[in-house]
Amino acid sequence: MSQRRQFTINVEPHVAEIGDTELLFQPEVMGDEFLDAYEDLQETQKRLGVDVNDLAGVEPEKLRLIVASLRVFLARLMLPESADEFLAWDVVKAGKVVDSYPTEEEAEARAAKLKDAAVRVGGMRLPDRVLVQLLEWAVELYGGGSRPTTSSTGSAAASPPPGTRGRAVSRSKGSTRTGGR
């Protein structure tokens, strides 16, 4: 006998309301998009030797890089118009923003043409606690509620169908058969 099962794909974007701003996140993330973005975030943390659960005493420059990688991670999961509002790359000279660009590469190219210019992550200004809350929410949405540790190919085997009896012998006296029953 054939079986039929219907699967639903989300088509409405997820919405993060921050004050008067709504950031739209992809309704579904296909393939390994989430895992690839999350892995890049973890690689940055490892490369910098920073534990995001303990940021006390972290050098300010390393903290800036962690915040930038967090913003890039979140922007990768957003719809393009929200990503453009949320993340920008600023060219800074003498403490002032000279230009902003949608990609780090464009900002780096501009900064290289200016003397003593640097590139900093820019875009929507948010407290760090909100960025962390957005991270936790994104992990819940796309990662099944917990932080992933490996690629999706490392998934556990499916559970046996309900009602299937195991073949192991029970050592419990309460579950052994008794004569005459």
| 30 — pLDDT class (breaks 50, 70, 90) | confident
**Distance separating the N- and C-terminal Cα atoms of the chain:** 36
Average pLDDT, the chain: 82
- Please give the pLDDT value at position 146: 55
At 67-121, the pLDDT tens digits run: 899 999 999 999 999 999 999 999 999 999 999 999 999 999 999 999 999 999 9
Specify the pTM.
0.73
- Please give the pLDDT value at position 155: 34
- Please give the pLDDT value at position 1: 84
- Please give the pLDDT value at position 3: 95
Cβ–Cβ < 8 Å for 29, 142: yes
Report how many helices (DSSP H) and strands (DSSP E) the chain contains, helices first.
Answer: 5, 5
Structure-token pair, residue 116: 């003593």
Cβ–Cβ < 8 Å for 142, 77: yes
| 58 — pLDDT class (breaks 50, 70, 90) | confident
Closest-CA residue to 148 (of 158, 159, 157, 138): 138
At 120-162, the pLDDT tens digits run: 999 999 998 899 899 999 999 998 765 554 443 333 333 344 4
- Please give the pLDDT value at position 104: 92
Whether 8 has a pLDDT exceeding 70, the answer reads: yes
- Please give the pLDDT value at position 145: 61
d(CA 131, CA 145): 17
d(CA 87, CA 124): 7
- Please give the pLDDT value at position 50: 85
